[in-house]
Amino acid sequence: MTREDIIKDENKVYSRPRLLLDATMHYCPGCSHGVVHKLVAEVLEELGMEDTAIGVAPVGCAVFAYNYIDIDWIEAAHGRAPAVATAVSRLQPDNVVFTYQGDGDLAAIGTAETIHACTRGENIMIIFINNGIYGMTGGQMAPTTLEGMKTSTTPYGRRADINGFPVKISDIAAMLDGTCYVTRQAVHTPAAVRSARKAIRQALINTREKRGTSFVEIVSTCSSGWKLSPVKANKWMEENMFAKYPLGDIKNTEVKK
């Protein structure tokens, strides 16, 4: 049997989602962004949202998300994606609007916009990549950096007495009346990927049905920032990140407006 005999449509078991563009990604090996991008593209396609979806990209590693998923995008200023998405969703209620943000963008500089979009119960999905570090700028401390964790601005490890404590922003989001769905997921194993996919699907359906704000945290790895191989980073995440940021649904309810 030759290679050509095998490469046939009837033998195909998997292919790149149509909405995931055939572009070389700038993400480092082992980074969770690529998997999450794929899931978003796959679910948007599955739900028939190619023509109505509008993504709002952050400042951070996902700043170029608009180069990878074939839908309309707005690139927001640092931390302001939920404000941008608020306007888009209110002015164009026929669209399905989502933000895609990292921990620095969402839980440091953009905390006010995050909290208030959730408070108002904006009909948007927020994808929150939590890898506990600023990847794009070279590995500085993030609001979600664990105590003791070394970064370029906490070279001896994060100290609560100097740097404060890591923030569990999803738990805060779950306390707000405007959120209908808050969940914490990961994409480090096939089972976790299936679960994250289900969560993103649920969040996008909530958004289409105008049920309030859906908040999907993905606890992620940053091999470059953590200075660990992709395999070791996954293990480190399981042992350390999940202890602080346990996986699972935090809230799944109906918002009464």
Partner 1 sequence: MEEDVKLMKGNEALAHAAVRYGADGYFGYPITPQSEVLETLEELMPWETTGMTVLQAESEVAAINMVYGGASCGRAVMTSSSSPGVSLKMEGISYIAAGELPALIVNVMRGGPGLGTIQPSQADYFQATKGGGHGDYHLIVLAPNSVQEMADFVGLGFDLAFKYRTPAMILADGVVGQMMEKVVLPPVRPRRTQAEIIEQCPWAVTGKRGRGHRNVSTTLELQSNEMEKNNIRLRQTYDLIEANETRSEEFMTEDAEYLIVAFGCTSRICRKAIEDARAQGIKVGLLRPITLWPFPKEAVCRLSKQVKGILVAELNNGQMIEDVRLSLSVGSSVPVCHFGRTGGIVPNPQEVIDSLLSNFPQSK
- Is residue 74 part of the contact set for partner 1 (CB under 8 A)? yes
Which member of 20, 61, 86, 170 binds partner 1 (CB under 8 A)?
A: 86
- Is residue 113 part of the contact set for partner 1 (CB under 8 A)? yes
Q: Which is nearer to partner 1, 116 or 150 (CB)?
A: 116
Which member of 43, 63, 186, 222 binds partner 1 (CB under 8 A)?
A: 63
Got the DSSP string for the chain?
Answer: --HHHH-SGGG------TTB-S----PPTT-SHHHHHHHHHHHHHHTT-TTTEEEEE-SSGGGGGGGTB-SEEEEPPTT-HHHHHHHHHHH-TTSEEEEEEEHHIIIIITHHHHHHHHHHT-SEEEEEEE-SEETTTTSEE-TTPPTT--BTTBTT---HHHH-PPP-HHHHHHHSTTEEEEEEEE-SSHHHHHHHHHHHHHHHHHHHTT-SEEEEEEE---HHHHT--HHHHHHHIIIIIHHHS--EEEEE-----
Which member of 1, 6, 13, 91 binds partner 1 (CB under 8 A)?
A: 91
Count of other CB atoms within 10 angstroms of residue 163: 17
- Report whether 69 contacts 38 (CB < 8 A): no
- Is residue 160 part of the contact set for partner 1 (CB under 8 A)? no
Q: How far is the CB of 89 from partner 1 (least distance, A)?
A: 9
- Is residue 112 part of the contact set for partner 1 (CB under 8 A)? yes
What would the x/- binding string for partner 1 be over residues 27 to 56, using CB under 8 A? -----------------------xxxxx-x
Q: How far is the CB of 12 from partner 1 (least distance, A)?
A: 25
Q: Backbone phi, then psi, for 204, in 5-degree steps?
A: -70, -35
Q: How far is the CB of 206 from partner 1 (least distance, A)?
A: 18
- Is residue 205 part of the contact set for partner 1 (CB under 8 A)? no
- Is residue 179 part of the contact set for partner 1 (CB under 8 A)? no
- Is residue 23 part of the contact set for partner 1 (CB under 8 A)? no
- Is residue 204 part of the contact set for partner 1 (CB under 8 A)? no
Q: Which is nearer to partner 1, 56 or 199 (CB)?
A: 56
Q: Which is nearer to partner 1, 96 or 180 (CB)?
A: 96
Using CB under 8 A as the criterion, which residues of the chain lie in contact with partner 1 when the complex forms? 50-54, 56-57, 63-64, 66, 70-77, 80, 83-88, 90-92, 94-96, 112-113, 115-116
